[in-house]
Amino acid sequence: MIGPSRVAELDMPAAGIETGTARPAQSYWNESWERLRANRIGIAAGILILIFAVIAVMAPLFSLILTHYQPQTINLDQTFMKPGSTHLLGSDELGRDTLTRLIWGARVSLGVAFLTVAMSLTLGTTVGMVAGYYGGWIDDVLMRLVDTVLAIPAIFLFILMSILFRPNAFTLAAIVASVGWGSVARLVRGEVLSVKQRDFILATRSIGARDTRLMLRHLLPNVLPVLIVAASLGVGQIILIEAALDFLGLGIQPPTPSWGNMLTNAQSYFFRSGFLVALPGIAIFVTVLASNMFGNAIRDAFDPRLKS
């Protein structure tokens, strides 16, 4: 267990030692967990996200036992129903059940968001670590690349790429991640540059550790807190971006329901049903709000220096 103990060296509470109070030395991870647990709003938001995730994963089950509809079942006798006993949250222009479609839409939103975060973290961490560790021309080349990626107005890149690749959940995540990795790389590089100066790196190198071992076993655990914070703060933004792309018709394509493309559809039926416009947006709003609040809690817990 090299990781946690190494990290502990970073943020060890010096105050306790200096004043001589007998405070048991806690690991960084224990302390962070304690701080997170104390943040009730943050925990509540986290639980909400968890519930949404469970609903998303078990969408088929929910549409079987709760709503009794499939997301793409068309029923032309029941178009534009108001919320009621037949359709809990009403139905759309083809008589499809709105609640069922929202539940299935959660799969898209959350699935793409987590996939995107995973992809941008992987690529961003690799690039940032290599750039920061090796420095020199490698650093220059990689960082100019990052500058370039971040200088393209992201929305243009998304538009062009979603025309190029027929978007499904996987390609959509790759498209969004193709921009998202840039800022992760910058972040990681900065951390690596500072960690690299520490004595234990010199010590490890002097006993003959290889570069890859140094990066994976010694540097990576030290940038982990930054990564956790970046990941948890990123989820909300990505859900918003994904929904906007769906809305513009560049993301998940109908008839697969997503919160974004449900809104595209609803646009045409303003005069028939306000619910169709309101509900998917509320779903996006609540999810993003919860992930932002959870992200803030994570940041406050894992990186108290950043607390606003």
Partner 1 sequence: MLAKYIARRLLASVVVVLGVTLITLLLMDRTRGAYVPGIDFNPSLRPEDIARLRADLGLDRPFYEWYLSWIWGVLHGDFGHSMIDGSTVMSHIVDRLPNTIELTATAILIGMVVAVPVGVIGALRRGSKTDHALTVVSVAGFAVPQFWMGLMLILIFSVTLEQHGLPWLPSSGAYSPFNGGDVLDRLQHLVLPATVLSFFYVSTWSRFIRSSMLEVLSQDYIRTARAKGMSERRVVYLHGLRNALIPLITLIGLELPGLVSGGLVVEVVFGWPGIGRLAFERALQYDYSTVMGVTFFATLLVIAGNLLADLLYGVLDPRIRYG
- Contact (CB, 8 A) for 252 and 172: yes
Nearest to 219, CA basis, from 232, 229, 205, 234: 205
> What backbone torsions phi and psi does residue 143 show, to the nearest 5 degrees?
-75, -30
- Contact (CB, 8 A) for 129 and 189: yes
Near partner 1 in 273-292, by CB under 8 A: 274, 277-278, 280-281, 284-285, 288-289, 292
- 140 sits in which H/E element: helix 136-151
Contact string 180-219 vs partner 1 (x = CB under 8 A): ----------------------------------------
Kindly state the smallest distance separating residue 160's Cβ from partner 1, in Å.
4
Cα–Cα dist 78/85, whole Å: 12
Region for residue 157 given its phi and psi (left: phi exceeds 0; alpha: psi -120 to 50; beta: otherwise): alpha
Q: Does 263 bind partner 1 (CB under 8 A)?
A: yes
Tell me how far the alpha carbon of residue 17 is from its chain's centroid.
38
Q: Of the candidates 1, 14, 76, 151, which one interacts with partner 1 according to CB under 8 A?
A: 151
Near partner 1 in 232-261, by CB under 8 A: 236, 240, 243-244, 247-248
Eight-class DSSP state of 274: S
Cα–Cα dist 8/22, whole Å: 18
In this structure, what token pair is assigned to residue 37? 């647990």
**Coil, strand or helix at 91:** strand
Contact string 1-20 vs partner 1 (x = CB under 8 A): --------------------
Kindly state the smallest distance separating residue 8's Cβ from partner 1, in Å.
29
Torsion of CA 173, 175, 178, 179, to 10 degrees: -100
- Contact (CB, 8 A) for 283 and 259: yes
From residue 246, give the alpha-carbon distance in Å to each of 36, 235, 254, 255.
34, 16, 9, 12
Q: Of the candidates 145, 193, 214, 231, which one interacts with partner 1 according to CB under 8 A?
A: 145
Q: Does 224 bind partner 1 (CB under 8 A)?
A: no
Eight-class DSSP state of 268: G
Kindly state the smallest distance separating residue 118's Cβ from partner 1, in Å.
22
Q: Does 61 bind partner 1 (CB under 8 A)?
A: no
Q: Nearer to partner 1 by C-beta: 102 or 293?
A: 293
Q: Nearer to partner 1 by C-beta: 162 or 256?
A: 162
Q: Of the candidates 202, 270, 304, 306, which one interacts with partner 1 according to CB under 8 A?
A: 270
Q: Does 164 bind partner 1 (CB under 8 A)?
A: yes
Kindly state the smallest distance separating residue 49's Cβ from partner 1, in Å.
13
Residue type, 74: I
Kindly state the smallest distance separating residue 106's Cβ from partner 1, in Å.
15
Q: How many residues sit close enough to partner 1 to count as binding (CB under 8 A)?
A: 39
Q: Nearer to partner 1 by C-beta: 156 or 208?
A: 156
Name the residues that contact partner 1, by CB under 8 A: 144-145, 147-148, 151-157, 159-161, 163-164, 236, 240, 243-244, 247-248, 263, 266-267, 270-271, 274, 277-278, 280-281, 284-285, 288-289, 292-293, 308
